[in-house]
Amino acid sequence: MTDFTAPGIDWAALAPILILFGAACVGVLVEAFVPRRARHLVQLVIGLLALVAALVMVVRSADSRTLTAGGAVAIDGPTVFLQGAIIVLAAMALLLIGERSVERGGAFVAQAAVPVNSELDKEQTVRSAGATEVYPLTIFAVAGMLLFVAANDLLTMFVALEAFSLPLYLLCAMARRRRLLSQEAALKYFLLGAYSSAFFLFGVALIYGFTVGVTDGPEGSAPGGVDFGTIRAAVGESTASPILLFAGIALLSVGLLFKVAAAPFHVWTPDVYQGAPTPITGFMAACTKVAAFGALLRVFYVAFSGAAWDFTPVLGAVAVLTMLVGAVLAVTQTDIKRLLAYSSVANAGYLLVGVLALSRDGLSSTMFYLVAYGFTVIAAFAVVTLVRDGDGEATHLSRWAGLGRRSPLVAGLFTFLLLAFAGIPMTSGFMSKFAVFGAALDGGQTWLVIAGVLSSMILAFPYLRVVVLMWLSEPGESTPTVSVPGGLSSAAITIGVAVTLVLGVAPTPLLDLADGAAQFVR
């Protein structure tokens, strides 16, 4: 019988995660004890203060390179960079959530203007008024994302995956004007997410079985393990049987590729993006993608780096399929949120091109892309929340005809964001694609770059179609008005557009920051 030794824990390194988990728990207590009328302001202040405090602790950990909590959590350059990105993007999303949750007929409030068709609808309308539980759920999700990008073993990664996925399932069901559509989207997301989690966990079991057959544990302990150091050592053994390894990598990849919305695991994306409240859609499109790719980078750059020759062709095929599926299906969409959903799928393919460069440049360019895309996509969904009529948000493309003549400022901002998605020079979208494609070329992945360029050309069409629709079509009687944004929505849009422009004109500071952070601790 061996003595148990508690693992050493660097509490300062874990402080951002602990702050957000604590703030989310406080938010739950606020729901129980604070009067309904005061909850919105209290919850918003708590959420923003917690994000600011967490960001301060992340910045203080900028020079840390350590493994803590028994090696289960890694604090290094990519962790700090991605955690900072998640927190800043989450703060932008929280501003948008705060604006829409108090507007009459907004995303989270069922007001009297909503058609009520039955006594059951009336009862649910009364119960749903306010919906301030969106704040602690969002903070719980952000805390799980911070742990997800820092996880250094597969079990910790699985726990973090569930910690941020479960709040997202609930958040997707909180739209009230399209209640049934929102709940249907949440149910689809939950069921498919449960399957992907099962695949991930089965992959963990197979990887553990692989390491047990190859490595010996420290003296007095069992052989094998699911920490990335043990997996990397097992992959490097020449006597290892590859069957369990390849099966485990395949199943783990299913779980991770589902979260990044890569084809063929993308089918949930358009339905969930359309049905979820638009602020939550923006939050998912930005923060979830950063978290999922952060975990994907750590798994393939740290744990399975010795098997790169084996998984690169398969992931490359997935990247090509993702880019083409996202681009081609975006052309056929008639709903702006579904169009942005397929755009997100295509962008997941471009990010995979950077991942498969399997170099420091690939890592840094992917992290740069995640930040640039996050700011642009939140700003785009913030603009979508402004185009409204008596039934709420007007997301059908036909309703956007002539919008440039009725609201030239909003249409101009949205045009700029669409051009950034299309990769037009002087925008962050161009610099992002240039960075990941350049890293892929240096890594010998020319075929991925060719596929990326071709899909980008296809994807430009639906963006330009919306631009033409807004500026060159005559406004009709059904063209909706643009609601005057309050301070919070204006701040989110301004920040997103400004960052999109700055990163397109002067990307060097962020590129240098990403390059300096592009080193995993092992």
Q: Which of the four pLDDT bands, split at 50, 70 and 90, describes residue 223?
A: low
Q: What's the average model confidence in pLDDT over 434-439?
A: 95
CA distance 446 to 433: 14
Mean pLDDT (the chain, rounded): 87
Q: Which of the four pLDDT bands, split at 50, 70 and 90, describes residue 98?
A: confident
Give domain limits for the chain: 11-517
SS3 514: helix
Is the model's pTM score more than 0.85? yes
349 neighbors 326 (Cβ within 8 angstroms) = yes
In this prediction, what percent of the chain has a pLDDT beyond 90?
64
Long-range interactions of 441-450: CB distance < 8 A, separation 24+? 442/357, 442/359, 442/361, 443/356, 443/357, 443/358, 443/359, 443/361, 443/362, 445/316, 445/353, 445/356, 445/357, 447/316, 447/320, 448/316, 448/319, 448/320, 448/353, 448/356, 449/353
Q: Which of the four pLDDT bands, split at 50, 70 and 90, describes residue 110?
A: very low
For residue range 21-30, list pLDDT tens digits in order.
999 999 999 9
pLDDT of residue 54: 96
Joined tokens for residue 10: 């660097």
- What is the phi/psi pair of residue 482, to 5°? -105, 120
- What is the phi/psi pair of residue 109, to 5°? -115, 130
For residue range 113-157, list pLDDT tens digits in order.
334 444 434 433 333 334 789 999 999 999 999 999 999 999 999
Q: What's the average model confidence in pLDDT over 78-90?
A: 96
